[in-house]
Structure 1
């Protein structure tokens, strides 16, 4: 039975990832075309000064800019499959190497943010559901709404000003690796940015958790389970958690795009050398090789996250197994 179940979700995940491949190719083509409209001249950016028309034409010809878009796209795909994304336009570093250095930082930041968002959502949403008819429950519901609607860029300014500038408890920006500052220094460098990224998501998830708990508690199966004399702990762990988790997991997957976009802003504002800041810098410098590689990578990450969310729903909700 266990082997069959494991085989089933393996098959579902493989099928779901296979469905994402055409979408990724389409996204890569869209990115490839749109990058051509980014303001700026890469030939000028590369040389650091205006070039005469002959030199510019020669540079564009050498780098394949005069070829038709379909040919350039196929060439880009072939190089990308081999892991060759070219070189950054200004520093002439391998784009794949730069991505390998910056991507783990963004994954740490967003991973911390998801952890904080989930913990806050469970705490605020769970308590506000159990105290829904009290002033404290209504207060927590309003706090969740405030968290959801507060812009993280404004909140970042306030928190940095308070905790970093005035109280000097946490660094105001930058990133410290474990090798440089140990676990303590690494965690301190991520607390503010990851929390700012997490708070709007936590507010939305908390409201959904509260609503899901209240709805599940009123359903017949929960009423029946209570009459059987099950303890509150068993009611929660055996019946409530699995059903309540479905809606928040779905919404968390939808917020994947927000996380990636928010990471770009947070990293740029707080001087964190992650993939989001790399994307912004590439756009400002008209670094089309880096811009294309990072944009396609972000699309792939988003598709992978949605596939994992679908897998989680497949495991949580028996109805999805029947439909698939």
Structure 2
């Protein structure tokens, strides 16, 4: 299958998944106790007030008609209104999402910059003491809850060694957040730790697999240096499964951001979601779920495309 045809097929699949996500979110919205009207008007609202609200908002129409209206609202960026903040959910997410993306991207970049060379080093030093030590530390980091790891970082690097602040930078804009970079160190470290543990293992396994391939033995027989073989050939081929897994790791990054933002009081979408969960602010919760789902689908799509570019031998049927 040609690359353009493959890309068109993957984009159509992603669009279908996003459409299914909108159906699920729409169903959850109508499954709320008392319906959307009760959530907006409050528990003291009378039956007449609820009926009037439903009629005004079109909630008394058949569900397929309501769903089409809901899609129209989504197309115009209308995710509803927050019960507690009395602000459009789209506006709240627009303010918070860039800061969450900043945190997750920095965590991913730091995690990959550490995991890739670490995994390759482990593969080269296979079954040596350093390999066992790094493997043990990776398992510990992977099995440690993000919240507990964040607390350890605060106790060590903010309390015992006052190198970094325990609270993330505050502000309404990315500029205000970036103006206090030392406040990002601990949140980024907490978010990157599990990624280093997971992707160093993937990189180690992929490197070991490529080191046993015929092209490596041929290059060695031709007199190529081990370092040149490792970085010119093995490195690129080993990145393919790592890139493929990166897209699937997007929901993990967002899930970790929720905990990290709450722990370090970082003003991103994760903290918004946490606050909304405490106050049962359903429009905010469902808006965040929808955005995370779209980000997950987009991340998976981009990972497949990048994997196809890195290794054209990957067939669409096996992606």
TM-score range, shorter chain: 0.7 to 0.9
CA distance in 1, matches of 2:29, 2:232: 50
Which residue number corresponds to residue 298 of structure 1?
A: 292
The CA deviation at 1:60 is: 4.0
Question: Relative to structure 1, is the Cα distance of residues 102 and 14 closer, same or farther in structure 2, using a 3 angstrom cutoff?
Answer: farther
- 1:23-59 per-residue CA deviation (whole Å, 9 max, x = no partner) reads 1111110111123334687656645673344334433
- 1:162-191 per-residue CA deviation (whole Å, 9 max, x = no partner) reads 2223333222223345633654x1x22222
1:244 equivalent to 2:268? Answer no
Name the count of aligned residue pairs: 315
Q: Per the alignment, in what secondary structure is the counterpart of residue 170 of structure 1?
A: coil
Equivalent residue for 1:211, pick from 194, 201, 205: 205
Q: Are the equivalent residues in 2 in contact too, given 1:85–1:94 (CA < 8 A)?
A: yes
Equivalent residue for 2:85, pick from 83, 88, 91: 91
CA distance in 2, matches of 1:220, 1:302: 36
Question: Relative to structure 1, is the Cα distance of residues 284 and 54 closer, same or farther in structure 2, using a 3 angstrom cutoff?
Answer: farther
Which residue number corresponds to residue 253 of structure 2?
A: 259
Question: Relative to structure 1, is the Cα distance of residues 40 and 188 closer, same or farther in structure 2, using a 3 angstrom cutoff?
Answer: farther
Which residue number corresponds to residue 60 of structure 2?
A: 66
Equivalent residue for 2:263, pick from 265, 269, 275: 269
The RMSD of aligned alpha carbons is 2.5
Which residue number corresponds to residue 160 of structure 2?
A: 166
Q: Are the equivalent residues in 2 in contact too, given 1:253–1:309 (CA < 8 A)?
A: yes
Question: Relative to structure 1, is the Cα distance of residues 37 and 286 closer, same or farther in structure 2, using a 3 angstrom cutoff?
Answer: farther
The CA deviation at 1:312 is: 1.5
1:196 equivalent to 2:190? Answer yes
Q: Per the alignment, in what secondary structure is the counterpart of residue 319 of structure 1?
A: coil
TM-score (norm 1): 0.87
The CA deviation at 1:245 is: 0.8
CA distance in 1, matches of 2:159, 2:5: 52
Q: Which structure 2 residue ranges, 5 or more long, are not aligned?
A: none
Which residue number corresponds to residue 4 of structure 1?
A: none
Which residue number corresponds to residue 220 of structure 2?
A: 226
Q: Per the alignment, in what secondary structure is the counterpart of residue 240 of structure 1?
A: helix
Which residue number corresponds to residue 26 of structure 2?
A: 32
- 1:71-124 per-residue CA deviation (whole Å, 9 max, x = no partner) reads 222111011112223332233222222211111011001101111211221233
Q: Are the equivalent residues in 2 in contact too, given 1:42–1:287 (CA < 8 A)?
A: no
The CA deviation at 1:217 is: 1.1
Which residue number corresponds to residue 179 of structure 1?
A: 175
Which residue number corresponds to residue 106 of structure 1?
A: 100
CA distance in 2, matches of 1:26, 1:181: 35
Question: Relative to structure 1, is the Cα distance of residues 304 and 195 closer, same or farther in structure 2, using a 3 angstrom cutoff?
Answer: same
CA distance in 1, matches of 2:84, 2:177: 30
TM-score (norm 2): 0.88
Question: Relative to structure 1, is the Cα distance of residues 245 and 163 closer, same or farther in structure 2, using a 3 angstrom cutoff?
Answer: same
1:117 equivalent to 2:111? Answer yes
Q: Are the equivalent residues in 2 in contact too, given 1:156–1:193 (CA < 8 A)?
A: yes
Question: Relative to structure 1, is the Cα distance of residues 293 and 182 closer, same or farther in structure 2, using a 3 angstrom cutoff?
Answer: closer
The CA deviation at 1:251 is: 2.2
